[in-house]
Structure 1
Amino acid sequence: MVRRLGFSFFVLLFALSVRADVVDIDNAELARLSAAGVPVIDIRTEGEWQETGIVAGSKLLTFVDERGRTDSPAWLEKVRGVAGPDQPVILICRSGKRTKAASRVLSQEAGYGKVYSVQGGILAWAKEGRPMAPAPSAQATCAAGARC
C-alpha cells in the first residue's frame, strides 16, 4: 500500500510540474513584460483590432472568428511561429474572457510553460489611457491567399 501511494504521489508531482503556469496580469505587468520582450498575442478579430487599435507590437492571431468558430490546430501553428512552448507569451482579447480559453489550449494541448492572460483585455488597457497603435489591415498581416 505504501509503495502504491508513493507511486501515485510521484505521478501527481510530475503532472503538476508539467502543467503550464497560466497567470492573470494587469496592465502594468503587461507593459513591463512587453517591454522586456515577451510577445503579446492579440486573439481578437480583425474588426475588433480596427475598432480599437492594438497594443503596439502585438501579433494578431484570431482565436475565435466572427462566427464563433475556432480552429485550435491552425491557431497553435501560428502561435508557434511567434513563440515556442518553452517561451512565455501574453494573450489579450477584448475583455479577458477569450484569453482564458486560449490559455487552456496553450497550456493543456500545446505544453506552453508560461502563459500570461491580460485581465480586462484591451478595454481595460484603453480605459487606463495606455498607448494604442492602429491595427494593420489583413492584407498586411497575411500572406497572399492565406486565411488568417
Structure 2
Amino acid sequence: MRILLIALLLSATALMADYSHQPIDQKLIDSKIKIIDIRTPNEWKTTGVVKGSLPIMFFDENGNYDMNGFLAELNTKVKKNERFALICNSGNRSKVLGTYLGKQLGYNVIDLDGGIQYAIAKKMPLEPYQPKK
C-alpha cells in the first residue's frame, strides 16, 4: 500500500511538471510570469536584464555551478508548482537547466529560446542590472 501511494505521488508530480520552450514576446512579459535570468553578473551589467526579471546566476564565468545554492535561491522566488521562465544569453544554458528542472525535478519551466540576444533583437523592454545591496 505504501509503495502504491509513493508511486501515485510521483506520477502526480510528473503530470503537474512541465517543460516548454518559446521565444520571449511582449505577451509573456505582460503576463507578469516570473523570468529568472541565469546569466552571470558581468552579462547582466553588459546588456541589462529583461524588465522585471529576477537574476539568479547558475553557471559562473568558468562554467561551474552550485545546484543546491541555485535551488535554494530559486525556491525563494518561485513555488515549485508555479510556472516561470528561464533566460540566458542565447538559450543554451536555459535549455540545459530548464530541461533538468522540468523533467527531473518537477518544476513548471518555460525556456526562452534565443535568450537575451533574441530579446534585444526584438526590442523587448530591458532595464539596467541593479546588484543586490
Q: TM-score scaled by structure 1?
A: 0.76
1: distance between equivalents of 2:46 and 2:90? 14
Q: Indicate how the Cα distance of structure 1 residues 68 and 91 shifts in structure 2: closer, same or farther if over 3 A, else same.
A: same
Q: Indicate how the Cα distance of structure 1 residues 110 and 124 shifts in structure 2: closer, same or farther if over 3 A, else same.
A: same
**Higher strand fraction: Structure 1 or Structure 2?**
2
Q: How well do the aligned residues superpose, as a CA RMSD in angstroms?
A: 2.1
Structure 2 residue runs of 5 or longer lacking an equivalent are: 1-6
Amino acid at match of 1:132: L
The question of 1:40 aligning with 2:35 is answered yes
The question of 1:117 aligning with 2:111 is answered yes
Give the % identical residues. 30
Deviation at 1:101, TM superposition (A): 1.6
1: distance between equivalents of 2:87 and 2:58? 11
Is contact 2:18–2:103 with CA below 8 Å preserved after alignment? no
Superposed structure 1 runs of 4+ greater than 6 Å apart: none
Name 2:44's counterpart in structure 1: 49
The question of 1:27 aligning with 2:30 is answered no
Name 1:4's counterpart in structure 2: none
The question of 1:93 aligning with 2:88 is answered yes
Amino acid at match of 1:70: Y
1: distance between equivalents of 2:122 and 2:28? 17
Is contact 1:76–1:106 with CA below 8 Å preserved after alignment? no
Superposition map of 1:1-148 within 5 A: 15=11, 18=14, 20-28=17-25, 31-112=26-107, 114-137=108-131, 141=132
Structure 1 residue runs of 5 or longer lacking an equivalent are: 1-10, 143-148
2: distance between equivalents of 1:101 and 1:15? 23
SS of 1:23's equivalent in the other structure is: strand
Is contact 2:101–2:109 with CA below 8 Å preserved after alignment? yes
Is contact 1:23–1:115 with CA below 8 Å preserved after alignment? yes
Q: TM-score scaled by structure 2?
A: 0.84
Deviation at 1:109, TM superposition (A): 4.4
Highest CA radius of gyration, 1 or 2? 1
Deviation at 1:111, TM superposition (A): 1.9
